[in-house]
Structure 1
Amino acid sequence: MAANMGSMRILIKGGKVVNDDFTQEADVYIENGIIQQVGKELMIPGGAKVIDASGKLVLPGGIDTCVHLQQTFMNASIQDDFYSGTKAALMGGTTMVMALVLPEQHCSLLDAYETCRTLADAKACCDYALHVGVTWWGPKVHNEMETLVREHGVNSFQMFMAYKDMMMLRDSELYQTLQTCKDIGAIARVHAENGELVAEGAREALDLGISGPEGIEISRPEEARCPIYLVNVSSMLAGDMIAAAKMQGKVVHAETTVAHAVLNGNQYYHQDWAHAAAHVIVPPLRLDPNTPSYLMGLLGNDTLSVVASEHRPFSTKQRALGKEDFTKIPHGVSGVQDRMSVIWERGVVTGKMDENHFVAVTSSNAAKIYNLYPRKGRIIPGADADVVVWDPDATRTISVSTQVQGGDFNLYEGMRCHGVPLVTISRGRLVCENGVFMCAEGSGKFYPQRTFPDYLYKKMVQREKNQAYKGVERDPYSGDVAKVANTMKKELGLGPIDGESPNKPGGRMHQGVRDLHESSFSLSGSQVDDHVPKRSSARILAPPGGRSSAFCNTPAILKLLRQCYCAAHAQLQQLRWEHSDSNGKPINRNNGTAEKGDCARLNLFSLVVKPILVLSH
C-alpha cells in the first residue's frame, strides 16, 4: 500500500497556497512524492486524484522539532511508540517529527542511535529525524559525535543543564560539547536550567513538607540562558533576554512548547492531585497568568522561532510514582496531535500572528534551522510533497476520549479550536482524509540532515571573517616605566610586595586558601592547582550583583568579567576577615563544608558566558 501511495498523482485544486512569506491562489500538482507544479491552469496528465480545496488553505506539513517516543524515562515507559506517535502527528497535520535519542550515562551515542533507528524504521508512519543527547563527556563522545554527523545524517545534539546525576554536564563538559558542535557544524540544543539550583530547590521544598506537584514550580525559579538554540523557553524574563539579544544582532534562536504558550502554573495547585501531576513538565509552567499570552506574542513577532509539542505522555498510574515526592513524577505531557490546531486557535484566531507566520513557527523556521529547507517547510516545485489542506473555519473540541496520541489526560481537554486538517499528504502519500487514517506502519523514512545550515552559520562565518584579530606592527616602547607602589599592592591584595616570594603568605591571607587573583584557570573550567589540597571555604552561591544574561559583545563581556573579578576578590577578602581571628587564624563559624574550589568557581568563564564567546561571535 505504501508503494502505491507513493506513486499517486494528486491535484489539489482551488485552494490558497500559504508559505511563510506569501499567500496565493493556486493549484498544486503532486507526483512521485514531489510537488511538480504550483499555479493556475496547470497541464495535468490524466488519472490524477483531485482534491477540492475551495475556500481552504494549502499549507506545508508541520514539523515538530521535539518528540519523545518509545523510551523509558524516570522509571516509566512513554505511552506512545513510533507508530502511534507518528500516526497522531499526521492526524494533526504534522508530517515530520524530530525525536530525541537519550543515551544512558557512559553508554555509546552510536549504539543508542542505532537502537532508536531500528525501532523507528519498523514503525514510523512519517518522515523523522533524530537529535542525539550528550549525557556525558569524553574522547569517545567527541569521536562519536563526528561519526554521527559524517556517516549517519545527524546534525543536532542536545545538552542538559538540569537532571543532575542523570544527564547534566559540568561546565567544562558543556563548553567542550558546544565547541565540538561548532567545529562539525551541528546545532547545539541546550535544555537550560541550573541543575545545582534545581536540586537544592527540590530539597528545600521537600524539607518544607511540599511533596505535591506544586513543588515542581517552587523548586525551579525562572532562569534565562543563552545557547545557540534554546529549547523549552518558559518565562517572560527569558523571552525578554532573547528579544534583547536579537535586537543586538546576536545569532540566537529559541523554541517554546505548546503547553508553555497556552497554559500557566496555577494548574499545579489544583485540588485534584492527578490533574496537577498531569501538567508536570520541565521547565515548569509559570504562575504568572500573563506568561502564555506573552510567549504567544513572542512567537508572533519572531522572537521565538519554533513551537514544539515536547510530546512525552505518561499515564496517571505512572505519574503516581511520585505521589509522595514530586521529584519522582515523570516529566512529560502529550501534544503532538493537537499542536497545530491549538497554535492556530491561540495564535491566528486571536490576532497574534497571521497565516504566514503560523506556517513559519510550525514548519518553515524549523526546516531552515535544521537544514531541511526548501525540501521541507515550503510549497514550491521540487519540494517534498508534505502538504496539509487546512480548514480555517472548521472547529473541533479536543478530548482525551477521541485522541489518537497516548496518555489518559489531555492538557487542552474541552478546548474548542478553529483550524482543522482535512487532508494530510506525506511525501506524496494520502495518509489522512476527513479523519480517516490510511497509512502503513513503518512506511515513514529517516531523513538525513546536512550540517552547517546557512540559517545559523552563514552570519557567524561572515562575522568571523570581519572580526579576525590582527596584531599591530609598531616600534617597541623605549620610554621610562613607573614602579608599582608597594603599599597599594599590599592593601588591595594585587600580588606580592616587590622582592617578596609570590607563595609567601602575608597580611590576612591564609595558607591553603586560593586567591582568585593568584589562581590560574584553563578554558576547560579546571584550575591548574586543583591537585593541591585546600581547606574548606565559605560557599558563595552567586556572584555579587546577580547572574549575568551574557547577551553581550566581546568588549562588554570583558568589562563585565573585570567587574565580577573585582567584586569577587573584594568579597573573598571580606570572607577571610570574617572567618579569621585577630591573629589571622581561620575560624569555622558554622561547622559547614564546601566543595573544593567553591570560591574559585566565581571564575571568569561561567556557563552563561562561554557559549556566547564560542558560538555567537
Structure 2
Amino acid sequence: MTTLITGGTVVNATGRTRADVLIDGETIAALVAPGSTALGHDLAASAERVIDATGRYVIPGGVDVHTHMELPFGGTAASDTFETGTTAAAWGGTTTIVDFAVQRTGERVQDGLAAWHEKAAGNCAIDYGFHQILGGVDEDALKAMDELVSEGVTSFKLFMAYPGVFYSTDDQILLAMQRARDNGATIMMHAENGPAIDALVAQHLARGETSPYFHGVSRPWQLEEEATHRAIMLADLTGAPLYVVHVSAKQAIAQIAAARSRGLNVFGETCPQYLYLSLEEQLGAPGFEGAKWVCSTPLRSREEGHQDDLWRALRTNEAQVVSTDHCPFCLKDQKELGLGNFSKIPNGIGGVEHRMDLLYQGVVDGKISLERWVEICCTTPARMFGLHGTKGVLAPGADADVVVYDPAGHTSIGYGKTHHMNMDHSAWEGFEIDGHVDTVLSRGQVVIDGGQFHGRAGHGRFLRRGLSQYLV
C-alpha cells in the first residue's frame, strides 16, 4: 500500500521542513515538497491512503531503548506483558523498544535470551530488540557475548547494585569490558554502589525508618557518583564503550561530562521521572503512597537542583538519550510487598506510554528545542544501539515508523484518561501536556488513529541490531 502524509512539518534531528512523506509498503519512499509532482505524477491522487497532517509535526516513531516487560523482580514480575507494554508504547508514539533479556547467576546466557524471545515472539505490537543482562561473568558468559553480537544482541548490561541478584564485582566488569572492546559491543551500566547501599538500608530499617521515603535516602547521590566514576575509569582502562543507564544525580552526569570532554566513549541516559519528579514530593507522599514512585536509581531532591541540571545536560549533549526504564508494578499485591519495609518494594515506574509527551512538554517550556526532542527520543537511541538508517529518522529507505503530533492538542495523563499500561495507578496522574499524539504508523501500518488502537499483537518484529553508530 502507498500512503502519503501531507501538509505537515517534517522534523528530524537535523532540522524541520515543510514536506510530504511518501510511504511505499513498510518503508519511506521519498520526502517531497508539498504538492510536488517531482516523481512524475500527482502523489495525493495516486496514493492509496492520504493522511492530512496540516498544522502538525511529522516525526520519526520514538525509540525507547530501556524497558523491562515481564521482568521478574522482588518476588513478583513487571505487570506489563510484551503485548500490553508495546500496545501502550504505540499509544504514546513509541514504535520501537529494546528490552532486557536476563541471565541470572548460574544460568547460561543463551538460555536467558531464549526465554525472552519466547516471551516476546508473536506478542509485540511494535518492533523490538534485546539487550542482554549478564548476571554472572565467567568464561562461558564471555564466549556468549561474542555469540550474541553475531545474533544482533550488541549491548550488555551490568549492575554495580543488587548484591546477590545481578551484582558484578569490579574484576567481572573489567573482563566484560575487555570482551566488549574486542567484539564492538556496548556496555550498559547500572551505576550505584550496591554493598554500601545495603549497609545504609540495614541502618534505616534498624531505626524503624521503613516508609518509601527512605528508599531514596538510602541510595544517596554520592553512591551514584562514585559508581559512575568507577565505571568510567574501568571503561577508560579497557577502551570499551560505556552507556550509563537512568542517571538521576547531577554529580553523576558531571562525571560523564568530564569523561566526554576527555574524548572517551562514555554516554548518559536519563528518564522522565528524573526530570519531573522528586524525593520530597513523590517518595515523601503521605503513608505508603510514595511506593508508586520507588525506582532505582531513586528520585532526587528538587531542593538540590538535580532536575534542572539534567535538563541542562540534555540541552548541552552531556546526556544523550531519554528512555523510560519502564518497569511497572501495581500498587496492590506488588508494591504492597514492601509495606513496613521499603527495601521490599519492587523497584520500577511505568512510563513507556508517556515519554514522547513528557519530553515534548520540555519543548513547550523552552527547556529543549523541537529538533532536540526528536534527537534524544528517536534518532540518537537508534544510532547508539545499531538501528540507524531504519529507525529514528524520516528518510528514504527508513522503516515507515511515523508519528503525526499535534502541537495544538492536549493530553491529560493518568489512569482512566490516556493510560493504557497494565497498572492500577499512574506515576503521572494529573500531568497535563500541551501536545497530542494523533496518528502512529509502524512500518507503514496505522496502529493509532482517531483515538483508537488499530494495531495487533504479532505485528512487531525482532530487530537484529548492528554495533553502535554513535562512537567517536
Superposition TM-score, scaled by structure 1 size? 0.71
AA paired with 2:190?
H
**Cα shift readout 1:36-95 (whole Å, capped 9, x = no counterpart):** 010110443724200001111100100001111123211112111011100000110000
Pick the structure with more strand per residue. 2
**Cα shift readout 1:168-199 (whole Å, capped 9, x = no counterpart):** 01111111011111111111000001111111
1:400 aligned residue (415, 420, 434):
415
| 1:580 counterpart residue number | none
Contact 1:211 1:324 in 2 (8 A): yes
Q: Which runs of 5+ in 1 are unaligned?
A: 1-7, 460-617
Instruction: Give the Cα separation in 2 of the matches to 1:316 and 1:282.
Output: 17
Instruction: Give the Cα separation in 2 of the matches to 1:360 and 1:189.
Output: 20
Secondary structure of the equivalent of 1:316? Answer: coil
Pairs aligned (count): 446
Instruction: Give the Cα separation in 2 of the matches to 1:247 and 1:77.
Output: 40
| 2:24 counterpart residue number | 31
| 2:193 counterpart residue number | 194
| 2:239 counterpart residue number | none
| 2:112 counterpart residue number | 112
Instruction: Give the Cα separation in 2 of the matches to 1:439 and 1:417.
Output: 24
| Pair 1:162 & 2:177 matched | no
Question: In the TM superposition, what are the counterparts of 1:367-516 in structure 2 within 5 Å?
Answer: 367-402=382-417, 403-451=419-467, 453-456=468-471, 459=472
RMSD, aligned α-carbons:
1.3
**Cα shift readout 1:264-301 (whole Å, capped 9, x = no counterpart):** 1112221131x201110001101234322221221122
AA paired with 2:292?
A
| 1:522 counterpart residue number | none
Question: In the TM superposition, what are the counterparts of 1:81-480 in structure 2 within 5 Å?
Answer: 81-150=81-150, 152-222=151-221, 223-224=224-225, 225=228, 226=232, 228-266=242-280, 267-273=282-288, 275-289=289-303, 290-317=305-332, 318-345=334-361, 347-402=362-417, 403-451=419-467, 453-456=468-471, 459=472
Instruction: Give the Cα separation in 2 of the matches to 1:76 and 1:249.
Output: 42
**Cα shift readout 1:325-378 (whole Å, capped 9, x = no counterpart):** 111100001000011101111x10111111100000101011111121121111
Instruction: Give the Cα separation in 2 of the matches to 1:192 and 1:65.
Output: 17
Secondary structure of the equivalent of 1:188? Answer: strand
More displaced 10-residue stretch of structure 1: 103-112 or 357-366 = 103-112
Secondary structure of the equivalent of 1:168? Answer: coil
Contact 1:205 1:218 in 2 (8 A): no
Secondary structure of the equivalent of 2:260? Answer: helix
Contact 1:125 1:443 in 2 (8 A): yes
Secondary structure of the equivalent of 1:35? Answer: strand
Instruction: Give the Cα separation in 1 of the matches to 2:154 and 2:435.
Output: 32
AA paired with 2:157?
Q
Instruction: Give the Cα separation in 2 of the matches to 1:333 and 1:449.
Output: 26
AA paired with 2:82?
F
Instruction: Give the Cα separation in 1 of the matches to 2:347 and 2:160.
Output: 15
| Pair 1:69 & 2:83 matched | no
Residue 311 of structure 1, CA deviation: 0.7
| 1:12 counterpart residue number | 5
AA paired with 1:427?
R
AA paired with 1:401?
G
| 1:566 counterpart residue number | none
Instruction: Give the Cα separation in 2 of the matches to 1:119 and 1:101.
Output: 10
Residue 441 of structure 1, CA deviation: 1.1
Instruction: Give the Cα separation in 2 of the matches to 1:114 and 1:292.
Output: 38
Residue 155 of structure 1, CA deviation: 0.5
AA paired with 1:219?
S
Secondary structure of the equivalent of 1:125? Answer: coil
Instruction: Give the Cα separation in 1 of the matches to 2:112 and 2:10.
Output: 40
Instruction: Give the Cα separation in 2 of the matches to 1:104 and 1:249.
Output: 34
Contact 2:71 2:327 in 1 (8 A): no
Instruction: Give the Cα separation in 2 of the matches to 1:52 and 1:297.
Output: 35
Superposition TM-score, scaled by structure 2 size? 0.92
More displaced 10-residue stretch of structure 1: 160-169 or 232-241 = 232-241
Secondary structure of the equivalent of 2:166? Answer: coil
Residue 125 of structure 1, CA deviation: 0.8
Instruction: Give the Cα separation in 2 of the matches to 1:391 and 1:272.
Output: 39
AA paired with 1:284?
P
Secondary structure of the equivalent of 2:192? Answer: coil
Structure with higher Rg: it is 1
Instruction: Give the Cα separation in 1 of the matches to 2:123 and 2:311.
Output: 33
Residue 428 of structure 1, CA deviation: 0.9
Residue 316 of structure 1, CA deviation: 1.1
Contact 2:326 2:349 in 1 (8 A): yes
AA paired with 2:31?
V
Instruction: Give the Cα separation in 1 of the matches to 2:379 and 2:65.
Output: 11
**Cα shift readout 1:550-607 (whole Å, capped 9, x = no counterpart):** xxxxxxxxxxxxxxxxxxxxxxxxxxxxxxxxxxxxxxxxxxxxxxxxxxxxxxxxxx
Percent of residue pairs identical: 33
Instruction: Give the Cα separation in 2 of the matches to 1:380 and 1:218.
Output: 46
Instruction: Give the Cα separation in 2 of the matches to 1:78 and 1:241.
Output: 31
Instruction: Give the Cα separation in 2 of the matches to 1:434 and 1:252.
Output: 41
AA paired with 2:255?
M
More displaced 10-residue stretch of structure 1: 36-45 or 118-127 = 36-45
**Cα shift readout 1:452-506 (whole Å, capped 9, x = no counterpart):** x3422xx3xxxxxxxxxxxxxxxxxxxxxxxxxxxxxxxxxxxxxxxxxxxxxxx
Bigger RCO of structures 1 and 2 (CA < 8 A, at least 6 apart): 2
